[in-house]
Structure 1
Amino acid sequence: MSTRVLVVDDEQSLAKVIASYLERDGHDVECVFDGPAAVDAARARPPDVVVLDLGLPELDGIEVCRQLRTFTDCYIVMLTARSDEVDRLVGLGVGADDYVVKPFSPRELVARVRAMLRRPRTTGSVVREEPARAFGPLRVDVTAREVTVAGRPVEVTRTEFDLLAALSARPRMAFSRRQLIDTVWGEGWVGDEHLVDVHVGHLRRKLGDNPAAPRFIRTVRGVGYRMGEG
């Protein structure tokens, strides 16, 4: 069965080009051109992936993303016109799974969607129960997908949790950025590996981890990251 992709961009010509590439890749694609229509379309026919432009009329991409997250766990790829917007969007924790900066190759976008769909879905899947992983005051409960520090719940995005779950699964291993991308975003993902640093930075902030002397997520110079002992 083909996957459903909702493309949301007020540049109708660009939306139609994106749709044509996705359809050639075997996806069932619907295009809409403003924020309210995107929310309505996602409610009427739940998509597997939403390709969502940041600069939409009426409701911008951030607000659309937040509204979508109240009723769907679909994958969301946010399109933005400026590379410096990516850090801000990740920091806002709007719930997008990936970010693509315009101008971009439609083939690159299709590759990212394909890689995203290979990631395991949490909704409706059977998860093997395991004890929470402990790193000092930090607890990572993979079964419940919950994070606490000293008993205090920490709100993280799905991507942030997946990143923390990957690191905590093998706490003695130093992961390269590429290894983390392959694990969290999928092996077919292409783009700037700096996205890992951005997510780690915001995850550290949420955990109260000092980047100069981190307890939970440590930088391994010349390699990437590994878990600390807390």
Structure 2
Amino acid sequence: MEPLRRAVVIEDDDDIRHLLETVLNQAGFEVTARSNGYDGIEAVRAVVPTVVTLDVNMPGIDGFETAKRIRTFSDAYIVMLTALGEEIDTLQGLEAGADDYVTKPFRPRELRARIEAMLRRPRAAAPVAPATSDFAGRPPAAPAYTAVSPGAAPASTPPAAAGERLEHLGLVVDLGTRVAIADGQEIPLTRSEFDLLAALLQSGRRVRTKADLAILLRNESYVTSNFVSDADKRGIEVHMGNLRKKIGENSLTPRWIETVRGVGYRMTGVDGAI
């Protein structure tokens, strides 16, 4: 028997709220709907949903502030609904803690596909004990990072075995526990940030494009016809900026993650050189 899937819809427009309820009900969710951020936050506390859809422009507190407050106590997947063409909404939504966004007017099939793609991604791991001396940032005996074999499809890199640890110059990612450590200190990352970091470590010096990484976060492949928009690519830039802040890296003098201007990202050389 499949576990019950719950969703909370936070939307002040009656027609859109009812449409979202219908779409999510058809996708197998038990839906709780609220018309403002304050009531929506309380609904998330009470229902403990898997997915939250969240409008940006609402009376009282807006969607950005609502997402930030939800993120203080919930690991639900948050889909931000943004006005068509307002790219800044997308960027602010991701910074506030949203996992994905859908522009209005949205297509119900696209919304369902994005939600199902998110649900196929691992949820954040439970807290674990502090790192042992094995993670103390000493130079790895094996290659500094685990690279994918040449010629592999960019967005379809096979998942590493559970418990595999990737290392590069004191930066460590444990794929089994979903823990990231920089110079011996555990770094709290979002799902998207962790997935991006793991993908870069697995690829080593091979460049991962922004489009490639956007598709990876959707858990899709290049055989699909899904379009990667400029806003999708900007979203990757926001995630990467947040990731760099958390690991304490300067993008101008990177120790770990190098920006390939106009293309994407890759790990630095084994000696830290670009």
Normalised by the shorter chain, which TM-score bucket? 0.7 to 0.9
Greater Cα radius of gyration, structure 1 or 2:
2
Alignment match, 1:219: 259
Q: Are residues 1:181 and 2:221 paired? A: no
Match of 1:129 in 2: 163
Taking the aligned partners of 1:114 and 1:100, their CA distance within structure 2 comes to 14
Residue correspondences, number: 225
SS in structure 2 opposite 1:5? Answer: strand
Query: d(CA) in 1 for partners of 2:119 and 2:88?
Result: 26
Tell me, yes or no, if the aligned pair for 1:111 and 1:190 is still in contact at 8 Å.
Answer: no
1:87 maps to 91
Shift of residue 72 of structure 1? 2.3
Sequence identity percentage: 41
Are 2:171 and 2:183, in contact at CA under 8 Å, matched by a contact in 1?
Answer: yes
In structure 1, the partner of 2:56 is 54
Compute the TM-score of the two structures, normalised by the length of structure 1.
0.80
Is 1:19 equivalent to 2:18 in the alignment? no
Normalised by the length of structure 2, the TM-score is: 0.69
Check whether the contact 1:108–1:190 (CA below 8 A) recurs between aligned residues.
no
Contact 1:7–1:15 (CA<8 Å) still a contact in 2?
yes
1:160 and 2:196 equivalent? no
Give deviations 1:123-161, integer Å, cap 9, x for gaps.
Answer: 57xx94344x33224333444544444445544333112
State whether residues 112 and 190 of structure 1, in contact with CA within 8 Å, keep that contact through their aligned partners in structure 2: no
What SS does the aligned partner of 1:79 have? strand
How many Å separate the matches in 1 of 2:164 and 2:170? Answer: 18
Letter of the aligned partner of 2:66 in structure 1?
A: V
Unaligned runs of 5+ in 2: 127-160
C-alpha distance in 2, partners of 1:26/1:136? 45
The 2-side partners of 1:7 and 1:47 are apart by: 10
How far apart are the structure 2 equivalents of 1:43 and 1:172? 43
2:124–2:178 Cα contact (<8 Å) kept: no
Flag structure 1 segments of 5+ consecutive residues without an equivalent: none
Deviations 1:11-38 (A, max 9, x none): 1211111222222333332211111221
Structure-2 separation of matches of 1:66 and 1:223? 31
- Asked if the contact 2:52–2:77 (Cα under 8 Å) also holds between the matched residues in 1, the reply is yes
| Residue 222 (structure 1) shift | 6.5
Correspondence list, 1:93-108, <5 A: 93-108=95-110
* Range 170-179 or range 67-76, more displaced: 170-179
Question: Cα gap change, 1:103/1:213 in structure 2, threshold over 3 Å: closer, same or farther?
Answer: farther
Contact 2:209/2:265 (<8 A) preserved? yes
Equivalent runs, 1:22-37 vs 2, <5 Å: 22-37=24-39
Q: Does structure 2 conserve the Cα–Cα contact (< 8 Å) formed by 1:166 and 1:184?
A: no
Q: 2:124–2:190: 8 Å Cα contact kept in structure 1?
A: no
SS at match of 1:85: helix
Alpha carbons 1:174, 1:225 under 8 Å: kept: yes
Paired residues of 1:8 and 1:52 also in contact (CA < 8 A): yes
8 Å CA contact 2:77, 2:99 repeated in 1 = yes
